[in-house]
């Protein structure tokens, strides 16, 4: 059995407390739609949506008991089926005590809810890995008991920790205190940190798994900034090898490291300062399954990437798994004549529950960079790398961006100060601006119907109906061999080859009759 961690946004936690503990002192219930993340050691349930039971929808309700009407339960089941998450949750309060435990009556009621869910899964043909999470809360925020069960009632894990993601850091409520690692704080290497952050602040850093994606100019300097801070675990993700032109800003690398993976060089540097730090060096892109799995385990993600595609990937992951995301970008805008127009960086922060990167002006889902990209190409605007068009002083921009980002990360994790979500550093003019963007309710990522807390998506598309059609495959190359089709969906002759297979030979048409493209 693994421990279960429940992660939720601050506003959901406050909402849950407000619903469950009201002035009349009666028990109340809330249904939960929860995402799931599973790794070797833990289950994590992520709150996607709350479905409170209205007072009018209780069959009976008192100071020591509560029972919803069957209709309310069915509505919660239906909403769960539509949501696409893997865990159906149920929480009720024991407002008469600080520390709550499941009672015999609770076990009976919750068993009925679980069996109802099992029937629904069979009827609707839902994913059989659907699980059931049940929780009871006392007046003390840490006075909870919770279990994760499979559809057959077997206990998969017991709730050990509730993690609340707030704009001032990650708040932990633990049923039983974990291993005391205060011994590590006596380490003389952390002395200067403790004088600044205090023991509690340093302890928070020492419990954190930080991940850094993109080890270009800014990313490498970021690693240099964090290596002495005492993080428990660090994941590095970058598919590139070191080039000679990187040496001007790649801390710790020498000429002998050229052609080595950047992640390996920085892992070595991290371990030189703190051998006890667990470092995962992943020489791959952020979309790689291994990187995805490791990033899902991290407490906080830093993105120092080029391009929107990997940024979009990280923003989606951060939203689905409720991870704070710090995105930094830096660059120089040089006019065709060589005159510098802009020089600086920006740090955009996504805290689950707050505005996402898209709501803060980042156009994540464009397949091309559009006008901005064209301007960048024409004027030599470069993000995080040097080219002939970029002055060599780019290292100074990266240093400021990396240092500023680490400062924000520390403030966030330790709660020593508020952090702005958007910081723009204009190094050319010496101006730092903090912008505030309002979260859009219609946003597909962080809005009301967004994806926050949806967790893993274990759905698999059904096999395409080609074989059942009994049509000869024609990949447009005259081969027409069914053997070319592989059940894994590989397309040996391209997407449109498969389509031809289904439709028969392409219709002839007079290309000249089509005229020119119109717009």
Given the rule CB under 8 A, which residues bind another protein?
84, 287, 292, 309, 312-313, 315-317, 319-320, 358, 364-365, 367-368, 370, 442, 444-445, 447, 449, 451, 454, 457, 459-466, 476, 488-489, 491, 494-500, 502-503, 506-507, 509, 513-519
Nearer to another protein, 262 or 320 (CB): 320
345 touches 222 (CB < 8 A): no
Q: What are phi and psi of 29, to 5 degrees?
A: -130, 150
| Beta carbons within 8 Å of 508's beta carbon, 6+ residues apart | none
SS3 (DSSP) at 379: helix
Rounded to a whole number of angstroms, the minimum distance from the CB of residue 140 to another protein is 36
Q: Least distance to another protein from the beta carbon of 101, Å?
A: 35
How far apart CA 88 and CA 109 sit, in angstroms, is 15
Parallel, antiparallel or unpaired: strands 382-383 and 209-213: unpaired
Interatomic CA distance for residues 77 and 135, integer angstroms? 17
Q: How far is the CB of 466 from another protein (least distance, A)?
A: 8
Nearer Cβ to another protein, position 136 or 291?
291
Find the shortest distance in angstroms from Cβ 46 to another protein. 15
Contact of 174 with 99, CB cutoff 8 Å? no
Q: How far is CA 42 from CA 38, 85, 176, 413, 429, in A?
A: 6, 18, 16, 22, 49
DSSP letter at 222 equals H
CB of 47 to another protein, least distance (A): 18
Nearer Cβ to another protein (58/80): 80
Q: Give the integer Cα–Cα distance in Å for 249 and 2.
A: 43
Q: State how far the Cα of 204 lies from the Cα of 171, in Å rounded to an integer.
A: 10
Structure tokens at 380: 């030599």
Instruction: Provide the terminal-to-terminal Cα distance of the chain, rounded to the nearest Å.
Output: 61
Q: Judge whether 167 and 420 are in contact, CB under 8 Å.
A: no
Taking the complex as a whole, how short is the minimal distance between the CB of residue 514 and another protein, in angstroms? 6
> Cβ distance 417 to 411 under 8 Å?
yes
Nearer to another protein, 101 or 458 (CB): 458
* Closest approach of another protein to the CB of residue 98, in Å: 39
Supply the Cα-derived Rg of the chain in whole angstroms. 27
Residue entry with tokens 């609770």: 106
Whichever of 196 and 365 has its CB closer to another protein, that residue is: 365
Nearer Cβ to another protein (173/466): 466
For residue 65, report the phi and psi dihedrals to the nearest 5 degrees. -155, 155
| CA atoms of 80 and 49, how far apart (whole Å) | 9
**Residue 473 Cβ vs another protein, minimum distance, rounded to whole Å:** 13
Nearer of residues 151 and 226 to another protein, judged by Cβ: 151
Shortest Å, Cβ 174 to another protein: 31
Both structure tokens of 421: 């979500």
**Closer residue to another protein, CB minimum distance, 315 or 414:** 315
């Amino acid at each position: 059995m693994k421990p279960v961690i429940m992660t939720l946004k601050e506003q959901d936690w406050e909402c849950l407390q407000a619903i469950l503990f009201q002035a009349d002192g009666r028990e109340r219930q809330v249904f939960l739609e929860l995402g799931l993340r599973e790794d070797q050691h833990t289950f994590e349930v992520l709150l996607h949506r709350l479905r409170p039971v209205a007072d009018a929808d209780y069959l009976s309700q008192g100071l020591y008991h509560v029972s919803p009407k069957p209709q309310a339960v069915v509505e919660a089941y239906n909403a769960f089926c539509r949501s696409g998450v893997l865990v159906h949750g149920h929480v009720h309060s024991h407002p008469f005590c600080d520390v709550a435990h499941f009672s015999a009556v609770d076990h009976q009621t919750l068993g009925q809810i679980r069996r109802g869910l099992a029937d629904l899964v069979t009827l609707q043909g839902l994913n059989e890995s659907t699980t059931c999470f049940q929780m009871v809360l006392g007046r003390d925020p840490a006075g909870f008991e919770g279990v994760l069960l499979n559809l057959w009632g077997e206990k998969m894990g017991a709730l050990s920790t509730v993690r609340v993601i707030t704009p001032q850091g990650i708040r932990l409520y633990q049923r039983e205190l974990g291993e005391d690692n205060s011994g590590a704080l006596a380490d003389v290497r952390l002395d200067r940190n403790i004088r600044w952050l205090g023991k509690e602040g340093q302890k928070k850093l020492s419990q954190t798994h930080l991940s850094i994606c993109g080890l270009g100019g800014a990313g490498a300097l970021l690693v240099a900034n964090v290596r002495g801070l005492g993080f428990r675990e660090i994941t590095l993700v970058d598919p590139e090898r070191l080039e000679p032109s990187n040496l001007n800003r790649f801390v710790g690398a020498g000429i002998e490291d050229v052609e080595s993976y950047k992640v390996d060089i920085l892992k070595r540097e991290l371990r030189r300062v703190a051998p006890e730090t667990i470092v995962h060096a992943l020489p791959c892109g952020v979309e790689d399954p291994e990187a995805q799995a490791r990033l899902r385990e991290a407490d906080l993600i830093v993105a120092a990437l080029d391009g929107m595609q990997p940024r979009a990937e990280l923003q989606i992951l951060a939203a689905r798994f409720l991870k704070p995301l710090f995105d930094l970008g830096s660059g120089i805008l040089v006019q065709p004549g060589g005159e510098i127009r802009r020089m600086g960086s920006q740090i955009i922060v996504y805290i689950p529950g707050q505005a996402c990167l898209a709501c803060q002006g980042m156009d994540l889902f464009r397949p091309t960079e559009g006008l901005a990209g064209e301007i960048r190409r024409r004027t030599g605007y470069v993000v995080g790398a040097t080219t002939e068009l970029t002055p060599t002083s780019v290292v100074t921009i990266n240093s400021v961006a990396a240092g500023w980002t680490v400062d924000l990360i520390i403030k966030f994790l330790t709660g020593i100060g508020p952090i702005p979500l958007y910081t723009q550093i204009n190094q050319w003019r010496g101006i730092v601006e903090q912008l505030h963007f309002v979260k859009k309710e219609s946003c597909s990522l962080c809005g009301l119907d967004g994806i926050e807390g949806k967790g893993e998506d274990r759905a698999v598309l059904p096999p395409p109906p080609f074989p059942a059609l009994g049509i000869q495959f024609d990949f447009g190359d005259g081969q027409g061999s069914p053997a070319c089709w592989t059940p894994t969906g590989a397309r040996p002759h391209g997407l449109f080859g498969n389509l031809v297979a289904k439709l028969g030979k392409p219709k002839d048409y007079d290309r000249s009759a089509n005229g020119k493209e119109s717009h």
